[in-house]
Amino acid sequence: MDRVRRGYHGRDWWGCAREGATLRLQYPDSAPLQAWTILCVARSGEDAVPLADAMMSERPGDPWALFARAGALIDHPGRGEAESIPAARVAQAALPDHPDATWQLARALVVHGAHSEAAAFFAAPPGPASAQLHALELAHTLNTPDVDAQRVFALAEQARAADPRCVDAEFLPGLWLLNRRRPAEAEVMVRRALELSPHSAAMRSTLWSAIRQAEHRDAADKRAAIEADMRLLLLTRGDAPEALMAARQVSQDLFKETYEALSAELEARFPAHQQVDWVRFERLAALWQARHERRQKGSPDPAADEQLRRELDAFIARPPSRPALLGNVYQERYLLVRDDEAAAPEALLAAVQAWAPHEQVNIHSLADAAVELAERTPYRIEAEAIARLALQRLDTRVAQARAAFADQAVVDSEAAYLSAALHSALGAVLLAQGRRAEARVELDQAWSQGKKGSPELFVRMAALAEAEGRIADAETLLVEGLSRWRGEEICEKPLKRLYQRQHGDDSGYAAYRQRLEAAVRDHRRAAILTTAIAEPKPLSPFVLSRLGGGSVRSESLRGRIAVINLWAKWCGPCVAEMPALQDLADAFASAPDVVVTTVNVDTKTDDLTAWLADRGLRLEVLLGTRYASDNGYNTLPLTLFVDHDGRIIFTHEGATERLVEEFTWRIEALRQRASAPASRLVRAAG
């Protein structure tokens, strides 16, 4: 049993499941061995609940059968959240003096319980402590905002002192270092863990991430080191789905042929495994991403759309082990119907109603679908039911987030964002029904919750204003919405239709729009400049490598206005606004008092030079993944406006439709600050 348990805690779950099965042939009467083998099966990605239920039948009342069932439930994707903690409490009560049962209850709380409940457990555990319990407390602590290195390494040392061969005492600090963009130090810790448990696919995957992030290695060295280590893992664990999946993931943009071969092997050998669900899902995601790109370019491909429809239906026909994946699949199926102008109203209704039972995460998208249904079809009552369902799910989602996350400010922000989006959608549905008074209540609530940046909300408020005869208000709302991110896409057509309804056709529309925009421009500029930070703090110092060679020190920016844009390739709004950022940089290229630069926070930057060249971008790019993480810059894109004295005066989170105009306003304001007499600045501050 000890060998199987050590394999489990060494994160070699497939290996310990296989070894446990072999040892059970020698020791068929060992209940602890059977239980730990079941836990290994569960952690390796298989559904181990049937095995646990069979053990319960074979050994009625055996505490280890209760232990096995709790362990199987913790890792069950559909039942774990509701059933694992009660089951673990029953097992711990049956084995009150056994450290394994105490550890398992702690794991159930860490994985599925409230953050505060797990913290209380570690403060006063009901049973004996162990190295693994200390390691679990460390894992729990890593999910606490602003945890410091001293706390992380103190807990690791407690686990190491209790058991010098505790794998997580080395691995978890390494993971923490990697997440703090300290790959060289992380690699050292992960390699120590792998010395204790060399066949762990999960830890090998983390090692490869550390190698890829290492700035001291060139691309060829990274590729060679990962390829050699990957082949070693496949040599020893090539029969394990988790090893094949880890190798497949790292091969995706390094070894394309290997990636394709491993994908096919996983589907052929392990068709029912949880890992294969992800292979199938990722293939689907690539197809729908290609479709979205075609739509952006205005290049429809009906044959490709039909292939996507068939693939979506095939995925639905063989549901995944993780129910959450179905929400995304049904959403994409709905989008195919929504974007088909010839689709019958009944087809749109059926697509939304098929999606609704499976969507627990993207509830704001489901609410937007309700608006589409209300505005395009006669099924407005059904649309209201779906919009209200989304609101009901918000309560559940917020309650779960409050229990799971220690940082309640983050939960409050997300809850306000979603609440505004959902009330906005419900308001639009009610307006489509002609229920103006009720619509106003919902839309006013959305407006008050800080969602003024959403162009959809501007469109809905404008529709209400028009319905109430307030045409000037409707015009102002739509013109203000144009300047929000994606505002041209969302607000332009409603503004043009409003004009046509007032004037009979669109002749004179261009001059009309220009006049309206001029009328709100001063208001927009004043609103932006009021966001100046009252007590500005200095820019955190840095020395960052420059893509293409050399480095840049923050001190070199002193005496100039610096516009620093933080971005990543995976961030859609970041990528979309980069041509405008290039225009800004070109506009100020000859200005000696202004510098426009960017900080890329991608963990993989091997192909960044080619990526920029493909898009005709010549921006200066600094490599600052760790700098962003250390300073809590977690929202992208993020732009910092730094004055001549090195203080951050403005920040802008998210993308903007009018980047050059609005960023120039901030730059000019900083120029005026620099030229203003000190006495005037003091009076202004007072």
For the stretch 575-595, pLDDT in tens is: 999 999 999 999 999 999 999
Tell me the CATH number at 660: 3.40.30.10
* 222 vs 272, more confident: 222
Tell me, yes or no, whether 13 lies in a domain. Answer: yes
Q: Domain boundary residue among 474, 505, 530?
A: 530
| Residue 170 and residue 245 share a domain | yes
Q: Tell whether the model's pLDDT for residue 656 goes beyond 50.
A: yes
Confidence of residue 452 (pLDDT cuts 50, 70, 90): low
Q: Tell me, what's the pLDDT at 77?
A: 87
State if pTM tops 0.85.
no
Task: Over range 176-195, report the average pLDDT.
Answer: 93
Total tally of structural domains belonging to the chain: 5
What pLDDT, on a 0 to 100 scale, did the predictor assign at position 144? Answer: 77
- In the predicted model, what is the mean pLDDT of the chain? 92
Average of pLDDT values for 46-67? 95
- Domain check: are 15 and 38 in the same one? yes
Please indicate, yes or no, whether residues 113 and 22 belong to a single structural domain of this protein.
yes
The pLDDT tens digits for 268-323 are 999 888 889 989 999 999 999 999 989 888 899 999 999 999 999 999 999 888 88
Determine the Cα–Cα distance for residues 385 and 353; give it in Å rounded to an integer: 10
Same domain, 403 and 510: no
460 falls within a domain: no
Query: Is there a domain that residue 595 lies in?
Result: yes
Q: Which residue in this structure is represented by tokens 């900080």? A: 599
Q: Please indicate, yes or no, whether residues 397 and 297 belong to a single structural domain of this protein.
A: no
User: What is the average pLDDT across 189-201?
Assistant: 96
Asked whether the predicted pLDDT for residue 111 surpasses 80, the reply is yes
In this structure, the answer to whether residues 341 and 391 fall within a common structural domain is: no
pLDDT at 685 over 50: no
Give the sheet arrangement for strand 638-642, strand by strand. 551-553, 543-546, 621-623, 594-600, 561-567, 638-642, 648-653
* Pair 593, 514 in one domain: no
Rounded average pLDDT over 195-204: 96
Residue 180 within a domain: yes
CATH number at residue 51: 1.25.40.10
Question: Are 327 and 383 contained in the same domain?
Answer: no
684: confidence class by pLDDT, cuts 50, 70, 90: very low
Residue-number span of the structural domain to which 501 is assigned:
466-530
- Report which residue type is found at 408: Q
Pair (444, 479) in one structural domain:
no
Encoded tokens for 90: 């029953």
Residue 679's pLDDT band, with cuts at 50, 70 and 90, is very low
Quickly tell me which residue has 């999606």 as its tokens. Answer: 355
Q: How many CB atoms lie within 10 A of CB 316?
A: 15
pLDDT grade for 465, boundaries at 50, 70 and 90: very high
Mean pLDDT across the stretch 371-387?
97
Residue 570: DSSP 8-state: T
650 bridge partner residues = 641
Say if 241 falls within a structural domain.
yes
**Which of 347, 375, 409 lies at the terminal end of a domain, its last residue?**
347
- Of residues 664, 672, 623, the one with CA closest to residue 644: 672
Which pLDDT band holds residue 683 (cuts at 50, 70, 90)? Answer: very low
3-state class (DSSP) for residue 558: coil
Least confident of 40-49, 118-127, 303-312, 615-624: 118-127
417 near 451, Cβ under 8 Å? yes
For residues 326-333, average pLDDT: 95
User: What pLDDT, in 10s, does the model give residues 78-90?
Assistant: 899 899 999 999 9
Q: Which segment of 194-203, 210-219, 563-572, 610-619 scores lowest on mean pLDDT?
A: 210-219
Query: Does residue 261 lie within any of the structural domains?
Result: no
pLDDT at 397: 85
Judge if 430 and 574 occupy the same domain. no
Whole-angstrom CA distances from 458 to 42, 56, 537, 661 are 49, 59, 34, 21
Q: What is the mean pLDDT of residues 480-484?
A: 91
Instruction: Report yes or no on 257 lying in a domain.
Output: no
Last residue of a domain, one of 183, 217, 250: 250
Give the per-residue pLDDT at 682: 42
386 vs 351: CA distance, rounded Å: 12
For the chain, report the end-to-end CA distance as a whole number of angstroms: 72
Per-residue pLDDT tens for 383-415? 999 999 999 999 888 887 877 776 777 788 888
The pLDDT of 352-375, averaged and rounded, is: 95
Average pLDDT over residues 331-357: 96
Indicate if the pLDDT at residue 450 is higher than 70. Answer: no
More confident residue, 125 or 438: 438
Shared domain check, 203 and 112 = yes
Better pLDDT: 215 or 73? 73
Instruction: Please state, in angstroms and rounded to a whole number, the distance separating the CA atoms of residues 301 and 363.
Output: 29
Q: How far is Cα 158 from Cα 167, in angstroms, rounded to an integer?
A: 13
- Write the DSSP assignment of 506-556 as a string of letters: -TTHHHHHHHHHHHHHHHHHHHHHTTS-SS--BPPP-EEEETTS-EEEGGG
Closest CA to 77 of 316, 274, 363, 267: 274
Instruction: Specify if 205 maps to a domain.
Output: yes
| Residues 561, 680 within the same domain | yes
Which pLDDT does position 380 carry in this prediction? 97
